C-alpha cells in the first residue's frame, strides 16, 4: 500500500498564506520604525540634556544680574530720596529769603522808580518851558521883523 497523498491547497489556505506574509512584512516594518523612533528619542534626550547644561549657568548669570540691578536701584532710590529732601529744604530757604528780603527790595525798587519818574518829569518840564520860551521868542522876533519890514 502506498500512501500517496495528493496535496491540494485550497483558496482559503492561499489567502491565509498571503495574509501571513503581509503580516510578517508589516511587523518587520513596524519594528524598523520603532528602532528609528528609539534613536530619535535618544538624540532628543541628549539635546535636552545639552540645553539644560547650557541654560542653567545662563539662568544663574541672569539671576545675579537682576540681583545686582536691584541693589543699584535701591541705591538710586536712596539718592532720589535725599535729593527730594534737599529740594524741599531749598524751596523753604528760597521762600524764607523771599519773604525777608522781598518786602524791603520791593519798597526800595518802588522808591527808586518814583524818584526816577520825578526827576524825568522835572527834566521834561524844564525842557518844555525852554522850548515854549524859544518859540515865544521866535514869534516875537518874526512879528518885530514884519513890523519893521
pTM over 0.85: no
Tell me: the pLDDT tens digits for 127-143? 888 888 888 888 888 88
Q: How confident is the model at residue 6 (pLDDT cuts 50, 70, 90)?
A: low
The pLDDT assigned to 46 comes to: 94
Q: Is pLDDT of 1 > 70?
A: no
Whether residue 18 has pLDDT greater than 70: yes
DSSP 8-state secondary structure symbol assigned to residue 9:
-
For 86, list phi and psi in degrees, rounded to 5: -60, -45
Residue pLDDT, tens place only, 56-112: 888 899 999 999 999 999 998 889 999 999 999 988 888 887 777 777 777 777 878
Instruction: Name the band, by pLDDT with cuts 50, 70 and 90, for residue 5.
Output: low
Taking the C-alpha atoms of residue 90 and residue 81, their distance in angstroms, rounded to an integer, is 14
Helix ranges (H only) for the chain are 11-148
Average pLDDT, the chain: 86
Round to whole Å and give the CA distance between 63 and 56: 10
Chain centroid to Cα 136, Å, comes to 79
Distance (Å, whole) CA 76 – CA 74? 5
pLDDT of residue 149: 64
- Dmax (CA) for the chain in angstroms is 197
Amino acid at each position: 500500500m502506498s500512501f500517496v497523498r495528493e496535496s491540494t491547497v485550497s483558496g482559503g489556505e492561499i489567502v491565509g498564506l498571503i495574509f501571513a506574509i503581509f503580516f510578517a512584512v508589516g511587523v518587520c516594518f513596524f519594528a524598523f520604525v520603532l528602532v528609528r523612533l528609539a534613536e530619535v528619542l535618544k538624540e532628543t534626550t541628549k539635546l535636552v540634556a545639552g540645553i539644560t547644561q547650557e541654560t542653567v549657568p545662563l539662568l544663574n548669570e541672569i539671576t545675579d544680574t537682576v540681583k545686582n540691578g536691584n541693589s543699584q536701584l535701591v541705591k538710586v532710590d536712596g539718592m532720589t530720596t535725599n535729593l527730594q529732601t534737599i529740594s524741599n529744604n531749598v524751596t523753604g530757604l528760597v521762600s524764607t529769603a523771599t519773604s525777608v528780603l522781598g518786602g524791603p527790595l520791593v519798597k526800595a525798587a518802588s522808591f527808586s522808580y518814583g524818584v526816577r519818574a520825578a526827576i524825568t518829569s522835572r527834566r521834561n518840564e524844564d525842557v518844555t518851558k525852554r522850548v515854549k520860551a524859544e518859540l515865544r521868542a521866535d514869534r516875537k522876533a518874526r512879528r518885530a521883523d514884519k513890523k519893521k519890514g
